[in-house]
């Protein structure tokens, strides 16, 4: 009694042809998630650095300039196609001896169009705000 063997030639190729698009899509989504995470971390770090730089400045204009410079420097190696730095310098108007702070909001638009994953937007905007205290006893 001989059993007839089933011919399996070509089944691996068919399985690969079925799974390949799903695996490529999964890889694209992983790259997308990684890029968003890296960009979010960069924006948060830029906001912290900008707030710290602004808090060390002596005047409102110097604080805005220092914040913009620090944020631009931090985001130099990121994939931001557009950045915006907003500095809240209301703390500079408080009297000496009271608690005050400066807040900086950094917005970065990251391009993800080069991933070529269907359904993903062309850009993604990340925003982070950081606050840094002003020295309570320095002249303002």
Q: List pLDDT tens digits, range 19-39.
A: 988 888 888 888 888 888 999
- pTM for this predicted structure: 0.80
Least confident among 28-37, 79-88, 124-133: 28-37
Residue at token pair 């500095």: 87
CB neighbour list of residue 15: distance below 8 Å, 6 or more residues apart: none
Report the distance separating Cα 100 and Cα 105, nearest Å: 17
Q: Give how far Cα 18 sits from Cα of 12, 13, 15, 23, 77, Å.
A: 10, 9, 5, 10, 38
- Tell me the pLDDT of the chain averaged across its residues: 88
SS3 content of the chain, % helix, strand, coil (to 5): 50, 20, 30
Measuring CA to CA, which residue among 95, 91, 118 is closest to residue 104? 91
Bridge partners for 111 per DSSP: 123
In the predicted model, what is the mean pLDDT of residues 102-107?
A: 97
Q: Is pLDDT of 10 > 70?
A: no
**Stretch 80-107: mean pLDDT:** 93
Distance CA 118, CA 9 (A): 33
Residue 66: the pLDDT is: 97
For 44-80, write each residue's pLDDT tens digit: 999 999 999 999 999 999 999 999 999 999 999 888 8
CA angle, residues 35, 41, 46, in degrees to nearest 5: 125
pLDDT > 80? residue 113: no
Answer yes or no: is pLDDT of 41 > 90: yes
Q: Is the pLDDT of residue 106 over 90?
A: yes
Residues 6 or more apart in contact with residue 111 via CB below 8 angstroms: 79, 81, 122, 123
């Amino acid at each position: 009694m001989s059993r007839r063997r089933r011919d399996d030639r070509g089944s691996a190729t068919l399985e690969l042809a079925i799974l390949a698009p799903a695996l490529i899509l999964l890889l694209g989504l992983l790259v997308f998630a990684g890029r968003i995470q890296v960009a979010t971390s960069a924006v948060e770090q830029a906001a912290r650095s900008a707030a710290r730089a602004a808090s060390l400045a002596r005047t409102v204009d110097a604080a805005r300039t220092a914040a913009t410079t620090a944020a631009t420097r931090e985001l130099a190696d990121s994939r931001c196609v557009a950045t915006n730095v907003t500095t809240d310098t209301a703390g500079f108007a408080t009297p000496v001896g009271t608690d005050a702070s400066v807040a900086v909001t950094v917005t970065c638009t990251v391009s993800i169009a080069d991933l070529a994953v269907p359904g993903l937007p062309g850009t993604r905007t990340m925003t982070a705000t950081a606050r840094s205290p002003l020295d309570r006893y320095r002249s303002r």
